[in-house]
Amino acid sequence: MQEFLKRFAPHAGNLNPPEFPSNYLPKKAAEAEAAPAAGLPDKLQFNFFVPHETLCQNEKVDLVLMPATTGDFGVMPGHVPTVAQLRPGVVTVHKELDKSVEKYFVSGGFAFVHPDSTADICAVEAVKVTDLDAEAVRAGLQEYTTKLAALQGKGDDYEAAAAQVGVEVYSAMNAALGH
């Protein structure tokens, strides 16, 4: 690499030298091995944000179940780093496995799982499942289903897409309520 940098300098003018992955790695593999091996923590550090409020901040939890567009998945301490787009569905937070469980309906957002056993959810909107009004959900689902059926094949793609999103969100809320 040093040879490359010597040859690069005369032709580069005022450019910064290129960065290499090795610039960010320990100088010796022995340094990395000498660092004390940290075991897995007992709890996952969890943060849950919506634009207008923080639902959880630095809470120690056992497990978080998330509805991703690629499928539902659970996060525990030591989970592989992940970025996932959330679909409408239920986020289940297990503060203590099967003892203290909170369920939130999210309309969408993103989940970030970090290598240090922390996880963040940034959701567009979230509401406790117990706060959902079953009658309002049924009415909303019926409204958007009717609207979508009326718009199909009419050429108004924007309105049809908005109705499709409404059907998906209300269907997910309906499923969260167990209907």
Domain extent listing, the chain: 2-29, 44-130, 132-176
Report the phi/psi class of residue 126: left, alpha or beta, with left for phi > 0 and alpha for psi in -120 to 50: beta
Q: For residues 36 and 68, which has the higher predicted lDDT (pLDDT)?
A: 68
Q: For residues 104 and 177, which has the higher predicted lDDT (pLDDT)?
A: 104
Output Rg (C-alpha) for the chain, integer angstroms: 24
Judge whether residue 32 has pLDDT over 70: no
Judge whether residue 3 has pLDDT over 90: no
Q: Considering the entire predicted model, what is its pTM?
A: 0.71
pLDDT of amino acid 6: 77
CATH homologous superfamily for the domain 44-130: F0F1 ATP synthase delta/epsilon subunit, N-terminal (2.60.15.10)
Distance from the Cα of residue 99 to its chain's centroid: 24
In angstroms, rounded to a whole number, what is the distance separating the alpha carbons of residues 112 and 38?
A: 21
Q: For residues 31 and 3, which has the higher predicted lDDT (pLDDT)?
A: 3
Judge whether residue 104 has pLDDT over 70: yes
Judge whether residue 68 has pLDDT over 70: yes
pLDDT of amino acid 10: 76
Q: For residue 17, name the pLDDT band (cuts at 50, 70, 90).
A: low
pLDDT of amino acid 153: 78
Q: What is the DSSP letter of 110?
A: E
User: How far apart, in Å, are the Cα atoms of 31 and each of 20, 36, 63?
Assistant: 19, 10, 33
Judge whether residue 98 has pLDDT over 90: no
